[in-house]
Structure 1
Amino acid sequence: MQLGLSEALPALVARRFTAARDAGHLIFSKTHLSIINAAGISYQLRYCPALAKKPSNLKPDNAPKLQKPDPFENPSPDLLIAQFPPENPAYNLILNKFPVIPNHFLLVTKDWQAQTDLLEKADLEATYECLKAWNTKDDSDASLFAFFNSGDDSGASQPHRHLQFLPVEDMRQPGSENWHPLIDLLATELASPSPSSPPKFKHLSGLPFAHFALPLPPNPSADTLHSIYITLYKAAAAATRAGSSGQDNESVSTQGPASISYNLAMTRSTMLICPRRQETALVPVDHVAARDVVDPGLLSLNGTILAATLMVKAQGEWDSLRENPEHLTQVLATVGYPRTDSRGPSL
């Protein structure tokens, strides 16, 4: 699968992002950034005050619920970056309309596909093509973080299938030069699996939830990407029922609706998955100071946790996590499943 773009992907995304932002077609919210260390891992903690404002036009509980329109069915030309493959487009590249990090964009299926269904070979191939296209001759060190939220407890916001991309260079700000996406911490020690032996998943000892990672070979085929994805998915599914059913991994369906909620992350070198049991978790905050905040202390987490990045909406939440990093460890343990897999060594 070829993207068939007329210019380098980073330049195209940056040009379209700047034009859309300056014309008001997307709403960019600035964040305050702090780096905190929890159990030996450095996390980006972003504070976005724009998220804390309570809506003033709340509808009564008995008001009829209207079906939300699909923003991906006919994407705005002002947010559309490209369509591909050129000969028969199956995917749109679209700017995130409400970004907090510059140049945040999405890979979206043109036709309706459910976000809760398992990814297909073409989805993974298209994702890898975007990751590969981000590295140009002018900036061979540029990197892109891809993530996918699937299921009610994953932090997914739209039911139409989409994967998301964040340029790592845009995630960094002054003071966070030594921060690295969590998935990259795994990648530095991943060894190529042997075809004759079971996969050995690596894990980070300081990460308090079940997670599974495998390396990607250079220029993997769609079949290879899908095989690695299914291997990881089966491990994640097994982690959600550890100690309960004992169901064999081989009986897990590998197509159609997923049986679990999970986050997937991907770079050119690594694929990582974590099963999710909750979308949200609470941190202790001063409720008097947070009286004008929606759901004070309630954090919603998505696949950016696999980049060691999370966002809060209130000063009290930001202060709580910065002053007590152990609260972050508790939050992560709450939204994920306990670690039970020990086939791979800790990093």
Structure 2
Amino acid sequence: MSIPADIASLISDKYKSAFDNGNLKFIHTETKKTKDPKTSMPYLISHMPSLIEKPERGQTPEGEDPLGKPEEELTVIPELGGANDKSYKLLLNKFPVIPEHTLLVTNEYQHQTDALTPTDLLTAYKLLCALDDEESDKRHMVFYNSGPASGSSLDHKHLQILQMPEKFVTFQDRLCNGKEHFLPTFNTEPLQDAKVSFAHFVLPMPESEEAVDEELLAMCYISILQRALTFFQDWLNENPELKKSYNLMLTKEWICVVPRSKAFSDEMKIGFNSTGYCGMILTKNDEVFSKITEKPELINDILLECGFPNTSGQKPNEYNY
């Protein structure tokens, strides 16, 4: 797996050029850091009116694939991968939620509902290793929104990479703090924070980058994905319209999967993808921003509305394995 040593500079230079030339849409007006007084879950709530311009699922003309032939101005690396297999391209997100928000896209069309392959996971992890910089306190997250209720808007398979806000500690960070890497068994469940309303499955990653390979990443992913997919089996009688959807988040410290039941809260008029499920909440309109910054405990209810109930402490059944 070959990631250019100057990858951070390549992204930064391309972003500056695209921003200056108006090739991407980024308007960031206000951010508020807060936490839920009941669960202590930290939130970073950002008001981003530029996201109104981003097409939602179903708004891209049928048959059109914006990621298949991306704009040259947004293409950081057209061919990325192993020595003889350039399976991916690295693009700037046209509607970034923070500067230098990038997309790892398969060159050959694959669907966003497809499972991640061991190579997808390793390429994403290697990008994290190349982009993270302890000295500058730069830390990144890769995420994958899979399925119609996950907050994904495009069907061409892509993972997203963004820099985490400085000094922002997610609930997954707290959950994994001081814990050794492990794989779930019948007696050892993935980690869940009992205070958080929604189901989520988290595993600490090995401290050493050398210990992380395709096999380990695949085993982590499959073991927690199985937990997430169990919900669709359990809830299908109650909601026959359910379509398998989930969010995956990966940092060098942990991997997390969240099963999703809805992409959008009808009551609060706000949608979520993976970023929401680690506490980074994006709003498009003033009213919602005001409401949830004044009462951050509302967010826990909305995240549950769009997910499934927390199963912390429950014994697994045979479908989990």
Is 2:47 the counterpart of 1:47?
A: yes
Q: What secondary structure is seen at the aligned counterpart in 1 of 2:135? A: coil
Q: Structure 1 residue 51: deviation in Å?
A: 4.2
Report 1:112-261 matches (<5 A). Answer: 112-136=109-133, 139=135, 141-168=137-164, 171-172=165-166, 177=167, 179-193=168-182, 198-217=187-206, 218-219=208-209, 220-242=212-234, 260-261=244-245
Q: What secondary structure is seen at the aligned counterpart in 2 of 1:204? A: coil
Q: Distance in 2 between matches of 1:126 and 1:234?
A: 22
Question: How many residues were matched structurally?
Answer: 299
Report 1:1-347 matches (<5 A). Answer: 1-3=1-3, 5=4, 7-38=5-36, 39-51=39-51, 66-82=61-77, 83-85=79-81, 87-136=84-133, 139=135, 141-168=137-164, 171-172=165-166, 177=167, 179-193=168-182, 198-217=187-206, 218-219=208-209, 220-242=212-234, 260-283=244-267, 297-342=268-313
Q: Distance in 1 between matches of 2:171 and 2:10?
A: 27
Unaligned runs of at least 5 residues, structure 2: 238-242, 316-321
Would the aligned equivalents of 1:16 and 1:81 in 2 still touch at CA under 8 Å? yes
Q: Distance in 1 between matches of 2:147 and 2:186?
A: 31
Q: Structure 1 residue 282: deviation in Å?
A: 3.8
Q: What secondary structure is seen at the aligned counterpart in 1 of 2:193? A: coil
In structure 2, do the counterparts of structure 1 residues 52 and 216 end up closer, same or farther at CA, with 3 Å as the change threshold? closer
Would the aligned equivalents of 1:29 and 1:48 in 2 still touch at CA under 8 Å? yes
In structure 2, do the counterparts of structure 1 residues 149 and 325 end up closer, same or farther at CA, with 3 Å as the change threshold? same
Corresponding residue of 2:319: none
**What TM-score, normalized by structure 1, do the two folds share?**
0.79
Would the aligned equivalents of 2:231 and 2:259 in 1 still touch at CA under 8 Å? yes
Amino acid paired to 1:15: D
Q: Distance in 2 between matches of 1:244 and 1:92?
A: 37
In structure 2, do the counterparts of structure 1 residues 330 and 278 end up closer, same or farther at CA, with 3 Å as the change threshold? same
Corresponding residue of 1:58: none
Unaligned runs of at least 5 residues, structure 1: 56-64, 246-258, 284-296
Amino acid paired to 1:321: I
Amino acid paired to 1:312: T
Would the aligned equivalents of 2:200 and 2:310 in 1 still touch at CA under 8 Å? yes
Q: Distance in 2 between matches of 1:89 and 1:146?
A: 19
Would the aligned equivalents of 1:239 and 1:341 in 2 still touch at CA under 8 Å? no
Q: Structure 1 residue 167: deviation in Å?
A: 0.7
Amino acid paired to 1:43: Y
Q: Structure 1 residue 320: deviation in Å?
A: 1.0
Would the aligned equivalents of 2:193 and 2:312 in 1 still touch at CA under 8 Å? no
Q: Structure 1 residue 323: deviation in Å?
A: 1.7
Q: What secondary structure is seen at the aligned counterpart in 2 of 1:133? A: helix
Q: Structure 1 residue 314: deviation in Å?
A: 1.4
Q: Structure 1 residue 187: deviation in Å?
A: 2.6
In structure 2, do the counterparts of structure 1 residues 33 and 66 end up closer, same or farther at CA, with 3 Å as the change threshold? closer
Would the aligned equivalents of 1:106 and 1:165 in 2 still touch at CA under 8 Å? yes
Q: Distance in 2 between matches of 1:119 and 1:194?
A: 18
Would the aligned equivalents of 1:190 and 1:202 in 2 still touch at CA under 8 Å? no
Greater shift, 138-147 or 97-106, is seen at 138-147
Would the aligned equivalents of 1:280 and 1:298 in 2 still touch at CA under 8 Å? yes
Q: Looking at CA atoms only, which structure, 1 or 2, has the larger radius of gyration?
A: 1
Q: Structure 1 residue 206: deviation in Å?
A: 2.8
Q: What secondary structure is seen at the aligned counterpart in 2 of 1:89? A: strand
Would the aligned equivalents of 2:183 and 2:203 in 1 still touch at CA under 8 Å? no
Would the aligned equivalents of 2:92 and 2:100 in 1 still touch at CA under 8 Å? yes
Would the aligned equivalents of 2:25 and 2:50 in 1 still touch at CA under 8 Å? no
Q: Structure 1 residue 243: deviation in Å?
A: 7.4
In structure 2, do the counterparts of structure 1 residues 194 and 321 end up closer, same or farther at CA, with 3 Å as the change threshold? closer
**What TM-score, normalized by structure 2, do the two folds share?**
0.85
Q: Distance in 2 between matches of 1:155 and 1:26?
A: 20
CA RMSD of aligned residues (A): 2.5
Identity of aligned residues (%): 29
Q: What secondary structure is seen at the aligned counterpart in 2 of 1:90? A: strand
